[in-house]
Amino acid sequence: MTESSITAGSSKDRLILLSGLITYGIGQSLLYVIFAPLGQSMGMPAWQIGTIISISNLAILFAAPFWGRRSDSLGRRAVFVLGLIGYAVGYAGLAFGLQAGAAGTIVALPLFFTLVAARLIYGGLAGGMLPAAQAYIADTSTEEERPKRMALIASSGGLGTIIGPIYAGGLASLDPLLPMYIAAALALGVAVWAQFSLVEPDRLREQGAPTGTWRIFGIIFPYLLGWAVVFFVFTAIQTIAVFMIQDQLGITGQDEQIRIVFLAFLQMAVVTVVVQIVVMQFISMQPRTLLRVCFILFGVITFLMVYVSTVAQLYLTFIGMGFAVSLAMPSLTTAASLSIGAEDQGAAAGLLAAAPTFGMVLGPMSMSVLYEFDTVLPLQVSAVMLVLTGIYFWFVSTPLVTRTASA
């Protein structure tokens, strides 16, 4: 083995990957903290704001599998760096567009299409970051290390969700767009750091002929389904949370609703991060066991949301949801990674990154419609979906992590 293959995957390399993914998570949270209110203040209708936010998810749905496969040939570092550059360009473009809109330079439909273009650039290129990072971890970790390493990767989104609003609140008082420009600059800085410091795994040059994408899809389908179901329910509950607070708790004040939702999401994110970066680093459990338990647990918690009648109970269910999701995410990724060979890690990671987006597109839309018919129906349907998925995993031959004495 060459020197680079020995040193690839060091703590420094993992720090670079996490820095990029945390920056990505910060950017996602800024959309809701900064972009939505600014767009509204400019007179943009709700459908335009929603389209601008969601259009990048549609781009990622197609871009992630493409860039995951490209990382098998171009290399993990190249795709990761390109994703960071796309993030920086897309995010800076979004900020420039908003600034032009605020100044009246670009208005109405031209402003809308400018912001859509920025989001498409963002989604089309930044969609390669997560697949490249997941494939890098798979390349540079043993089977026993992989659940812990994947848990760290999964925690990056939660960390970004926690850091984003705090960081935005501190800078937005100076200029509402300043956090967005800084987020773009951070992404560019991590891209430079990764280009010159992230060690490319040598095993990319030692792998055999890749498997067809549809063949890989079939092999890892249970885990793609798991990702889609988790984010279908996860984003659906986030979407109807304000309505739950109004209808089940009787709280109608907008400021109070926002405060409760923020605290519920924050507690959920903190629990998720703590479990993934602390608990799962010291307690080793087989992905097979976790998948058979966490989906059923998530389903029970979702069903209990139907009976929430106090703010404290709402917080407890969101904490429980964060705990269940924190077990599911790294377990799904690890199980999928163990199901295929080294030559297909990038392609699989791309599909795994696209699957949550599929759930994010369908969940909020369908569950919002169901909520119009019956306020508890979305929670009941979601709970059944989760429990059935958990039962399904009892019949899936999820590969076991091989334990070694030296690991």
> The tokens of 185 are what?
């600059």
Specify whether the CB–CB gap between 233 and 386 falls below 8 A: yes
Task: Name the residue with higher pLDDT: 243 or 192.
Answer: 192
Mean pLDDT of the chain: 85
pLDDT, tens digit, 9 for 90 and up, residues 246-259: 888 888 776 777 67
* Structural domains of the chain in order of their starting residue, each with its CATH number: 3-200 (1.20.1250.20), 214-393 (1.20.1250.20)
The pLDDT value recorded for residue 392 is 97
Find the range with the poorest average confidence among 49-53, 187-191, 300-304: 49-53
The pLDDT value recorded for residue 29 is 74
The pLDDT value recorded for residue 169 is 63
The pLDDT value recorded for residue 41 is 75
Instruction: Read off the DSSP letter of residue 92.
Output: H
User: Is 4's pLDDT higher than 50?
Assistant: no
User: Does pTM top 0.95 for this prediction?
Assistant: no
User: Is 112's pLDDT higher than 80?
Assistant: yes
User: Is 305's pLDDT higher than 50?
Assistant: yes
DSSP assignments along 215-279, one per residue: HHHHHTHHHHHHHHHHHHHHHHHHHHHHHHHHHHH----HHHHHHHHHHHHHHHHHHHHHIIIII
Q: How far apart are CA 126 and CA 80, in angstroms?
A: 8
* Angle, helix 11-30 to helix 76-103, in steps of 10 degrees: 30
User: Is 375's pLDDT higher than 70?
Assistant: yes
pLDDT, tens digit, 9 for 90 and up, residues 162-219: 777 676 666 666 777 888 888 899 999 999 999 999 999 875 544 556 677 889 999 9
User: Is 357's pLDDT higher than 70?
Assistant: yes
Find the range with the poorest average confidence among 7-16, 46-55, 63-72, 316-325: 46-55
pLDDT, tens digit, 9 for 90 and up, residues 335-351: 999 998 888 888 899 99
Of the candidates 84, 134, 45, 77, the residue with the CA atom closest to the CA atom of residue 344: 134
Q: How far apart are CA 191 and CA 132, in angstroms?
A: 13
Q: How far apart are CA 332 and CA 352, in angstroms?
A: 9
Say what percent of the chain tops pLDDT 70. 91
Radius of gyration of the CA atoms of the chain, in A: 21
Range 287-301 average pLDDT: 95
Q: How far apart are CA 228 and CA 245, in angstroms?
A: 26
Half-sphere exposure of 183 (CA within 13 A, CB side): 34
The pLDDT value recorded for residue 283 is 74
Range 144-157 average pLDDT: 84
pLDDT, tens digit, 9 for 90 and up, residues 76-97: 999 999 999 999 999 999 999 9
189 burial type by CB count under 10 A (0-12 exposed, 13-18 middle, 19+ buried): middle
Of the candidates 163, 160, 91, 164, the residue with the CA atom closest to the CA atom of residue 125: 91
Residue 405: pLDDT band with limits 50, 70, 90: very low
Query: What are the angstrom distances between the C-alpha of 142 and each of 3, 251, 294, 299?
Result: 18, 50, 24, 32
Of the candidates 141, 97, 151, 131, the residue with the CA atom closest to the CA atom of residue 20: 131
The pLDDT value recorded for residue 11 is 87
Specify whether the CB–CB gap between 224 and 355 falls below 8 A: yes
pLDDT, tens digit, 9 for 90 and up, residues 388-397: 999 999 999 9
Find the range with the poorest average confidence among 7-16, 26-35, 70-79, 191-200: 26-35
Q: How far is CA 346 from the centre of its chain?
A: 17
Find the range with the poorest average confidence among 2-11, 67-76, 105-114, 347-356: 2-11
The pLDDT value recorded for residue 2 is 45
Phi and psi for 137 in degrees, rounded to 5? Answer: -65, -40
Task: Name the residue with higher pLDDT: 264 or 176.
Answer: 264
Q: Cα dihedral sign for 16, 21, 27, 29?
A: negative
> Which residues 6+ apart lie within 8 Å of 293 measured at CB?
327, 390
Say what percent of the chain tops pLDDT 90. 41
Residue 104: pLDDT band with limits 50, 70, 90: confident
